[in-house]
Every structure is written in structure tokens, then in C-alpha cells.
Structure 1
Amino acid sequence: MTDDSALRTVDVARESGYSVQQVRDLERLGVIPAATRSSNGYRAYAPVHVQALRAYRGLAGAVGPVAARQLMADLWTRTVTEAAAAINAVHVGLARERDEVLRAQQALWAIESEAAHHGAIESEAAPHGAVEAEAAHHGAAEGADTMTITELAAALGVRTSTLRFWEREGLVAPERVTSLRARRYDASAIRAARIVAALRGSGYGIPAVRDIIDSLHSLQDGCGPERVRHILVERLDRIAARSVELLRAGADLAAVLDSLTPARAPAPA
């Protein structure tokens, strides 16, 4: 007796937008559960297979195909509670990326404001002592906002070894390194690190990042800041597009979760 509700591979391909071969490949990779076999040996799929493939497409647009494949394969081994937490983590990750870019924009604004402020003081031909007093005051203000290498790495979502690598490449310099080689970063270094993190997240290589950071430090013309501003706006647009892809996958992800095992009740004491 055949199951009239069963879907053939060609049906799943048509409904999901993938080719027949892609459906088989994604099944082999664990993106969708293994199909059952009908009495004649052909694959028999259910509607949840189509929904899973649609969910995968949205996830791939949000986090990339490799991460999406790993996440989908993992979801099938989880309870509803665990799987929902994994999907929520994707939303949180995108929100964090967006927050970091916004902080980089604030850092860029601070760098430009600082340069304009110092330029205004020098253009007024203030007495030498007044310039020194202003510099001392600014330095004291920055000193009140410092981070250790561990704190800065956590704030940026990178490893401490990454910050040390950026230091070796001349991208970010700590305010000081103690005799115990403990690093502290002042407000200026923190701002630079936020911009470096945003540029690296946008796919820029080390040489390109170094050129941009050097142009920001010199601020001889508006090209440096304007270039960074454009990069950051583009990155925000890409994050927004990825967020839309994740939202578009929402209903299909919910269907996948509905098919999973409910959360296990705790064992009695």
C-alpha cells in the first residue's frame, strides 16, 4: 500500500527550488533527515523536508552556507528547547555585529571630532601652555576609559591573539605594556580597534586596513574618514539583508522545530 501524501525527490525539488541532485546532496549532508523508502525502493519525503530546505536557504543567506549546513544538521539531533536556543543565537550574533558597526561609526565620529578640536586650538595660536593644558586634560579623560586586552577582545568578539596580531601589524597599539607584558588600551586605541574589527568583518585584508587606519591617523584630507564611513554603511546594509533572510526563514524554521522531540523533563529526585 502506498502513502499518497509522500513526496518524490522531484516534488521536493520543485517545491523547495533546489535541483534533484541538490536535494540528494543536502540529504547526504544532514541538512534534511534521511527520506524513508517506499515499498518499491524510491525515496519518500514529507512536507517537513521541503520546509527544512527552505529554512536552510534563509539560514545560508544569514550566516553563509557552511554554517547553515552545520546548524541544520545539528538541529535534527536537538530537542525543541535546544534547537530554539541555537536559532536565537543566530539572531543575537547578527544583532551583535550590527552593534559593533554602530560603535565603529561612533569611533570614527570621535576621531574626526578630536582632530577638528585640536586643529581649532592650534589655529587660534593659543599660548604654548594652553595647548599643553588642553592635551593633558584630553589625555586624562581618555585615561578614565581604558581596557585590558581581555576586556577589549571580549568587547569586539575576537581572541586576544587577534589583538596581538593587529598590534604586530601596526593596526592597534596599546597605551602601555607593563613589565609583565600586560596590555592596557586607552580610548584612542579602543576606537581604532573598533574600526579595525569592522573593516576586517567587511572582508578587508590587513594591507588595506593598514592604509585606511593610517589615513585616519593623518587626516590630511577627507578621503580616509569618508571611505570608512562608506564601508560601515555598506556593512550595516549587508547585516540588514542577512537579518531579512533569517526572518524570511522563520516560519519554515518553526515547522522544523515543531517536528523535533519536546524538551525532556528533569529526572525525579
Structure 2
Amino acid sequence: MDEDTGGARRAPLRTADVARESGYSLQQVRDLERLGVIPPAARSGNGYRAYTPVHVHALRAYRGLAGAVGPVAARHTLAELRGGPLAAAAAAVNAAHVLLAREREEALRAREALRAVEAEAGAREFEHGGDAMTITQLAQALGVRPSTLRFWEQEGLLAPERVTSLRARRYGLAAIRAARVVAALRGAGYGIPAVRGVVDALSGLEGRGEARRILDRRLDQIALRTVALLRAGADLAAVVTAAGEPSRDA
């Protein structure tokens, strides 16, 4: 049972033990088990749940993951960690880091675009060296679909600076900068009316100041989410390692 076979083996943990060590309440532990965040606990002879240290690691990892990528994505990621090979588990964790890095990069680009708006910087294209981008190029640069840009256009958030005779949209420098700001605001969770208000006021000091504050908050939030993911690192590693070990239950 809890005696070891060649080394110390820890006694099963009760629900109260897991709650204390993970920082969750008794009911939260049961709920998260029901949701699949942690694998079902074994049952002892008297019917009580019998947990292991891996359950504690999984709950701590979930807390960090949920703070970094949201609870739904965190549940899916933990399921991948337990159910797949080591390489797939590592890739799932990597994907969370990549997501945060991309969000931070886009927020920084948006802040650079806002500075350029404030400085009324001249005519050099930021990445392509040309004077305009097509809707496909701009969508790829922002990591959105072309249909998203069309939707923003319909909502008055963005306008191409030129439409050719074949109705192909062309976005100049000012429109590209505005699109970066819109993308960052939408990524920060702001609704269409709020984004429209900022975009409409972008030519004034008040609008630029509000956009700057939103982008700074966005970067702060991404930093906090990154720290949460880093803190979860050791627990994630323990879950991944345990998933690759043969079960010792018999």
C-alpha cells in the first residue's frame, strides 16, 4: 500500500490534503476532478478518494495555465499533457509560451504604430518597404483573417486608403498603423463601440492618450500571464514526467 518497494512511497493524500497543498477549496478540488483537470482519484477500501502528489502538481499547473491562457485552454492543455507522448506534451506547453509571445509582440507593434501616429512620422513602410499592403498582406501581418479586416471596415474601425477598379483593397501607412491599434485593442478584449471611440479620437490628444493607456495595460496583463505560466513550469514538468512513467498501482 504505502510501503515502498525499494524507496519511500508516500501515503495517499486525502481531499483535504490536496486542497491545502494546492490552494483550492475542497469543493473546487472535486469540481476540477469532475471537469477532467486532474485524473480521477483512486478509491481506498473505505470509499474515500486517494490522491497522489501528481494531483497537487496538476492543480497548481492548472492555476498558472488558467491565468496565462484561460480556463478552457488550460483544461485542454492538461488533458494533452496526460494523454499524449512526451514530445506532444512539451509542444502543448510551448504553444502557450508562443501565444503569449505573439500577443506581446503585437501589442508592442501597436504601441510603435501609435507613437508614429503621435509623431506624424513620414512615409516609410514598416515592414514591406513599399507604400501599401493588400488585404491579404495586412491580415497576415496582424494574424487575423481578411474577413476580420472587412468586418472592421464595415464597423467604421478601419478603411483602406484605396480600392482599385477590381475592388482590391490597398492599405497605406496610416491605415496599417490604425489597423495595428485596432488589432491590439480588440485583442485586449475591448468591444467594437469602445474601439470605435478610441479610433475616432485618435487624431486628438485625448484619444491617443486613452489608446496608450489601454496598450500599456495590455502589456502589463501579458506580463502577469507570462509570470503565471513561468510559475506553473515546475508543476507542469512534474505532470509531464508522471504521464510518461508506468503506473505503479497494482
Give the TM-score band, short-chain normalised: 0.7 to 0.9
Counterpart in the other structure of 1:13: 19
Counterpart in the other structure of 1:260: 243
Aligned match for 1:223, one of 206, 213, 223: 206
1:156 Cα offset (Å): 1.5
Aligned match for 1:154, one of 123, 140, 148: 140
Aligned match for 1:22, one of 20, 28, 38: 28
Counterpart in the other structure of 1:107: 113
Tell me the amino acid that sits aligned with residue 16 of structure 1: S
Higher relative contact order (CA closer than 8 Å, sequence separation 6+): 1
2:183 paired with 1:197: yes
1:227 Cα offset (Å): 1.3
Tell me the amino acid that sits aligned with residue 242 of structure 2: S
1:188 Cα offset (Å): 1.3
- Which protein has the bigger helix share? 1
Tell me the amino acid that sits aligned with residue 149 of structure 1: I
2:155 paired with 1:169: yes
What is the TM-score of this pair, normalised by structure 1?
0.82
Q: Does the CA-based 8 Å contact 1:2-1:39 persist in structure 2?
A: no
**For 1:76 and 1:180, how far apart are their aligned partners in 2?**
52
- Aligned-residue sequence identity (percent) comes to 68
Aligned match for 2:61, one of 55, 62, 71: 55
Counterpart in the other structure of 1:131: none
2:185 paired with 1:185: no
Q: Which moved more, 1:87-96 or 1:140-149?
A: 140-149
Alpha-carbon spacing, 1:44–1:184, altered in 2? closer, same or farther (3 Å): same
1:166 Cα offset (Å): 0.1
After superposition, the C-alpha distances for 1:8-66 in whole angstroms (9 at most, x for unaligned) are 11111111111122111111111111111222222111100000000000111111222
Counterpart in the other structure of 2:49: 43
1:145 Cα offset (Å): 4.0
1:182 Cα offset (Å): 2.9
Q: Where in structure 2 are the equivalents of 1:124-139 lying within 5 Å?
A: 138=123
Q: Does the CA-based 8 Å contact 2:125-2:132 persist in structure 1?
A: no
1:90 Cα offset (Å): 0.6
Q: Which moved more, 1:181-190 or 1:246-255?
A: 181-190
Q: Which runs of 5+ in 2 are unaligned?
A: 4-9, 246-250
Tell me the amino acid that sits aligned with residue 104 of structure 2: R
After superposition, the C-alpha distances for 1:116-148 in whole angstroms (9 at most, x for unaligned) are x7xxxxxxxxxxxxxxxxxxxx49999814322
**For 2:232 and 2:183, how far apart are their aligned partners in 1?**
28
- Give the number of aligned pairs: 238
Counterpart in the other structure of 2:200: 214
3-state DSSP class of the match of 2:54? Answer: helix
Give the superposed CA RMSD. Answer: 2.3
